[in-house]
């Protein structure tokens, strides 16, 4: 539905702030109509303001007074928004679908029609994989397909699980969600069961002799848009990397406390794996970081700056085990520079949270330095939030590949400041980042597949393409002004940065999905909606 009025297409909880955006050069009278067409509120918008990100003028229509459960639309003259709902439980379905995505990405096992529907498939990628440059084969079955492709990458896996663990810590009700997976109904909650499926694969990627961790396992190149069982080229395990080994150590250390109550032996196995990886991570020194070896062209997850991974690992190791070595190493990093980031490339914020939440002794000056840096970062984001008509912490330079991940991450940074200061403005701003993703954006689309009125139908995702139906519950990458693929060039050339999105199968730079984009959104939602 084309409209010049943008709202959260799922809706709003009764007591949340509610703002629609209308594209226009002047302030407008707007109405809120209920399902019967009756006007339940009439107001005047804000004055219009030019937006460099869209190269348009826009106004804000605040209808926060609407608190009664029901279905509504926003009306300006002859223009109407998509219908949306006001209700307390409006996000339940979306949260469940975002979580079920991980099950549907399972590799190395059969997905049956009972649990996967049209995305069912036999076991895939279940042959031994060759260690690159050798004639040695290794069994590394399992884990989740990373994105629109069928590769499995340690760096992506670790940051995905870190975000999911934080989601659980902020909203334990996630552990009660029936994810409709084969293991549902057992003592271990479904989400922890699903995460364990990824952890078991990660453990297979650690070399028994050295403790180092292989970077990824993929075929040498990308396959066509086929179901996973039809990708039968040789699997290749790529060399060890510092980033993979440090991220592995951090993730395994985080996982220990979640699994100890259910499976003590598994928790101890992860603790040992974390300690071994941490002890050897710095031995893997490659100038410029990991790069694909010759002949391999799948996702690289290259990272030329590897200190933040070690920063994160040291903090998680201290939080989990209390060893002074880990504490001293993290504090030495902080004394040099406080780092931030919740993405696969910049992971340091996970370390900051680990240090500030450990039950072991910490240095008050270090803790205060971290809190100040977190609030300073949030204040910088707040300036962008206040300047952006869509109330996200972006300016025109921020619409890059995976922009929706950064939207979610920035919301989490704002939430961190709320937790430290108790100031509601940070929490309110963080929630607006969710509204953007669910439809209050200039692309006039809900960026979660299967949700909202204006849906994404053609994600860059092989199972979806193979069955000709978008899998539910996937966060799409979103606008990328870099125009990194031919469809983006064709459809978005000349458009303002915030509009550089196209719902095309081959637009991998704007329309792909990944496990860690889903987890970033779930982490934010667990923080600001619980």
Pairing state between β 84-86 and 11-12: parallel
Give yes or no: 26 in active site.
no
What is residue 264's three-state secondary structure? helix
- CA 14 to chain centroid: 26
Cβ–Cβ under 8 Å, residues 159 and 176: no
Query: Is there a catalytic annotation at residue 460?
Result: yes
Q: Active site residue: 146, 149, 198, 491, which one?
A: 149
Here the tokens at position 226 are: 């086929």
Phi, psi at 514, each rounded to 5°:
-150, 160
Q: Which of 362, 341, 347, 322 is nearest to 251 (CA)?
A: 347
Give catalytic status of residue 512 as yes or no: yes
Alpha carbons 427 and 414: distance in angstroms, whole number: 7
H-state helical runs in 89-142? 92-104, 113-116
Rounded Cα distance between 182 and 146, Å, is 21
Beta partners for 214? Answer: 240
Distances (CA, A) of 89 to 96, 171, 229: 12, 14, 37
Which candidate in 247, 306, 416, 503 is catalytic?
A: 503
- Cβ contacts of residue 389 below 8 Å, gap of 6+? 21, 49, 51, 54, 58, 60
Q: How far is 189 from 99, CA to CA, in rounded Å?
A: 13
Both tokens of 476, joined, read: 């799409």
What is the distance between the alpha carbons of residues 521 and 409, in angstroms, rounded to a whole number? Answer: 8
- Short-list 144, 43, 140, CA closest to 101: 144
The Cα–Cα gap between 518 and 238 comes to 25
Helix (H) / strand (E) containing 217: strand 216-218
Q: Left (φ > 0), alpha (ψ -120 to 50) or beta: where does 211 sit?
A: left
Q: Is 198 a catalytic residue?
A: no
Q: Which residues are the active-site residues? A: 149, 460, 503, 512
């Amino acid at each position: 539905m084309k409209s010049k009025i943008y709202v959260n297409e799922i809706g709003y909880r009764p007591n949340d702030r509610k703002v629609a955006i209308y594209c226009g050069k002047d302030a407008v009278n707007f109405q809120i109509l209920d399902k019967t067409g009756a006007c339940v509120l009439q107001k005047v918008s804000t004055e219009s303001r030019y937006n460099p990100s869209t190269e348009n003028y826009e106004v804000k229509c605040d209808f926060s007074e609407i608190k009664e459960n029901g279905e509504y639309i926003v009306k300006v003259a002859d223009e109407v928004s998509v219908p949306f709902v006001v209700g307390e439980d409006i996000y339940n379905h979306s949260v469940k679908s975002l979580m079920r995505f991980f099950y549907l990405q399972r590799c190395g096992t059969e997905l049956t029609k009972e649990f996967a529907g049209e995305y069912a498939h036999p076991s895939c990628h279940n042959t031994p994989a060759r260690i690159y440059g050798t004639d040695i084969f290794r069994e590394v079955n399992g884990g989740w397909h990373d994105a629109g492709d069928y590769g499995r990458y340690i760096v992506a896996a670790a940051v995905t699980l870190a975000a999911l663990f934080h989601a659980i810590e902020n909203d334990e009700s996630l552990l009660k969600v029936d994810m409709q997976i084969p293991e549902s109904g057992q003592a271990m909650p479904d989400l922890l069961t699903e995460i364990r499926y990824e952890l078991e694969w990660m453990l297979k990627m650690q070399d028994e002799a050295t403790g180092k961790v292989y970077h990824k396992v993929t075929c040498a190149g990308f396959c066509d848009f086929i179901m996973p069982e039809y990708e039968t080229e040789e699997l290749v395990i790529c060399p060890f990397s510092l980033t993979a080994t440090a991220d592995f150590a951090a993730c395994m250390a985080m996982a220990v406390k979640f699994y100890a109550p259910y499976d003590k032996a598994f928790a101890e196995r992860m603790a040992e794996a974390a300690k071994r990886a941490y002890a050897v991570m710095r031995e893997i020194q490659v100038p410029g970081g990991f790069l694909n070896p010759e002949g391999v062209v799948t996702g690289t997850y290259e990272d030329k700056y590897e200190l933040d991974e070690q920063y994160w690992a040291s903090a998680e190791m201290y939080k989990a085990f209390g060893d002074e070595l880990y504490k001293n190493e993290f504090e030495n990093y902080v004394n040099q520079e406080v780092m931030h980031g919740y993405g696969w490339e910049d992971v340091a914020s996970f370390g900051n949270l680990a240090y500030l939440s450990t039950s072991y002794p910490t240095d008050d000056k270090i803790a205060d330095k971290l809190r100040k840096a977190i609030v300073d970062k949030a204040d910088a984001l707040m300036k962008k939030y206040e300047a952006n008509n869509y109330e996200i912490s972006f300016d025109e330079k921020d619409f890059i590949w995976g922009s929706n991940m950064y939207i979610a991450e920035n919301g989490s940074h704002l939430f961190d400041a709320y937790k430290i200061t108790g100031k509601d403005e940070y929490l309110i701003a963080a929630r607006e980042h969710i509204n953007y993703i669910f439809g209050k954006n200039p692309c006039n689309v809900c960026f979660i597949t299967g949700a909202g009125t204006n849906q994404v139908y053609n994600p860059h995702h092989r199972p979806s393409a193979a069955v000709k139906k978008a899998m539910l519950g996937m966060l799409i990458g979103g606008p990328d002004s870099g125009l990194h693929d031919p469809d983006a060039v064709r459809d978005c050339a000349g458009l303002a940065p915030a509009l550089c999105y196209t719902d095309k199968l081959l637009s991998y730079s704007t329309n792909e999905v990944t496990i860690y984009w889903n987890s970033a959104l779930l982490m934010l939602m667990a923080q600001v909606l619980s």
